[in-house]
Structure 1
């Protein structure tokens, strides 16, 4: 609850796609959070297909179905979160997708998917990484692009 009081967030959609994912959503108790777990406690979250050339599973079933649903979402879309929560029935995911909506203060059937996806936001750039953390050579050598984006996102959120 410590995040809601200083208005650090309005609503959060918390999605976990891993084995026993619902166990992570069970720990959430703050208001205005929707949790989604791709598998129930005691269940595995299964992959959709494997690349036999490299021997690696390429995508999980839940992530694939979520991605397919979201490909059609635009800022003008009218789909609601209750529709998003049914994207991967057990017959397709081969696991039980578990979601919690009781922490949300409005009915899930009235929440547009675009409240969480496909929205357009005006972002103002904050200080650069070197200005914030000092001019350390390790940043250029050790941070990968994805980490820089995540760090940039954290800096933007923290500066609000």
Structure 2
């Protein structure tokens, strides 16, 4: 993406156990990476659904989303403000970050710069809206649109499913 000039500055947030081990692998210019946990640390869940037996959200993600939901598009909140909300007592892990542009500091990075915007885009092509979902590959777009409309059999290997929980009645 950097070689093709597809971004000016990129914010990448990694939420997984030992997430900081990925930070050193990013060498592209102007990338800010935030990791939920250090090497040999777990990234713990916050809420779980006992019926599903699944985690619904992790502690780091919960804190990050709570911060983002507290600001709006006109906010002057910075990366340093976000970092100030992270608490080891809550997360039970230490976050970390890395910036490949050494001239900037977290207090200089306005978070709303990474939020998407709404723009009025007009084209002069005759392609349908389904084609635009596939980044300009009109043939793939038309193929996928036709495939989704079909009621073909689902291609599921029932041997991979737990027999006590699921059955192959598709």
Q: Normalising by structure 1, report the TM-score.
A: 0.74
Alignment of 1:63-102 (within 5 A): 63-102=61-100
Cα shift readout 1:46-71 (whole Å, capped 9, x = no counterpart):
00022223222111001100110000
How many aligned residue pairs are there?
A: 139
1:36 to 25, 34, 37: 34
Which residue of the partner structure matches residue 124 of structure 1? 121
Q: Structure 1 77/53 Cα, relative in aligned 2: closer, same or farther at 3 Å? A: same
Cα deviations by residue, 1:104-147 (Å, 9 ceiling, x for unpaired): 54232111111113x53315377544434153233556xxxxxx
- The whole-number CA distance in structure 2 between the counterparts of 1:11 and 1:135 is 33
- Partner Cα distance (1:49, 1:55) in 2: 11
Q: Structure 1 residue 78: deviation in Å?
A: 1.4
Q: For 1:99, what is the secondary structure of its paired residue?
A: strand
Runs (4+) of structure 1 exceeding 4 A deviation are none
RMSD: 2.4
Q: What is the deviation of 1:85?
A: 2.5
- CA distance change for structure 1 residues 54 and 125 in 2, over 3 Å: closer, same or farther? farther
Distance 1:123-1:12 versus aligned 2 partners, 3 A rule: farther
Larger RCO (alpha carbons 8 Å, 6+ apart): 1
After superposition, the C-alpha distances for 1:1-20 in whole angstroms (9 at most, x for unaligned) are xx334422100001011111
- Work out the CA distance in 2 between the residues paired with 1:55 and 1:125: 46
Deviation at 1:36, TM superposition (A): 0.7
1:133 and 2:131 aligned:
no
Segments of structure 1 that go 5 or more residues without pairing to the other structure are 142-160
Q: How much has 1:38 moved relative to structure 2?
A: 0.5
Segment of structure 1 superposing worse, 34-43 or 123-132: 123-132
Aligned counterpart, 1:152: none
The unaligned stretches of length 5 or more in structure 2 are 132-137, 151-170
